[in-house]
Structure 1
Amino acid sequence: MAQEIERKFLVTGEFKSQAFAQDRIIQGYICSAQGRTVRVRIRDNRGYLTIKGASNVSGTSRYEWEHELSLAEAEELMKLCEPGVIDKTRYLVRCGKHVFEVDEFYGDNDGLIVAEVELASEDETFDKPSFIAEEVTGDRRYYNSQLMKKPYKTW
């Protein structure tokens, strides 16, 4: 079973000049129920189907399974998604021995920028880049599946 362990933070300050890569991501949800999500993502003309389970109490760890799809398959599955879509650019920024994924959101979530870092264990230490602000790990409002339903601009 694949376990995803990550921490999430709000971003303030400049980060784009530190990025070594960036991709535009469009994603929708076939299922966005609490405790389980089925996500369809299009990233760089490739598709992905991802299933995530419930988060643990701290919100740091949960089951994740992902499978690459063709672009055509992903586009077909997007038609089955719940209303709403997540549109963002993901920037990859190295800090120490970790890579932070910084997501800049558009559309109804415009103005929101969050960073995630994947870890090998929940107690793993890591260096934080200067643009990292408040930690929001476990705050469901910042889950992409929730941003689709209750966008940042409505808070």
Structure 2
Amino acid sequence: MSTMTAAPPRLAPAELDLEARLALAGALIDERLALANIAIEVDTAHIPAADPIPDIAAPPILRPARTPEPYSTPIAAVLQRALARLRDVGWCAEHYDDQGAVCLVRAIRTEAGGGTLGGQACQFLLDVIRAEFGPWETVPSWNDAQPGPAVPLRILGQAAEQAAAGGI
């Protein structure tokens, strides 16, 4: 009589829960990262090691000493002082920025020290701007349209020269 032995029962693959799948995926990623690090070390072994980036504080901004006022007329003197202030603290397109830079109008009004002189100097500057750049409504609108400090500083210096030449 022949006896038949039954084959061992086959087990269905076990379903992995979410935690087990995440652990398995994490282990695979760790292995890939380790291999990638080794590959980078091998690929860059011939490059001489550079010094680590030094922790260097920003160098101090050296500002030129204020020049004596070359103009004796009130508006020309205010415009010249405003130009010196902008060179000292920096120019910006808005009223002021986080680093202390100021716009044309703020520099003029600060140097005028109150009163009507600041407004008169701004009006004179607007006239100089309009003569060169066309019909701008205000100094702030023109100032805010400028991409950098070169033209505003140039036009402020030009306005100071014209005011001095006109005895204003």
Which of the five TM-score ranges fits, normalised by the shorter chain?
Answer: under 0.3
TM-score (norm 1): 0.24
User: Higher relative CO (CA 8 A, sep ≥ 6), structure 1 or 2?
Assistant: 1
Larger Rg: 2
Report the structure, 1 or 2, having the larger strand content.
1
Instruction: Give TM-score scaled by structure 2 length.
Output: 0.23
The structure that is helix-richer by fraction is 2
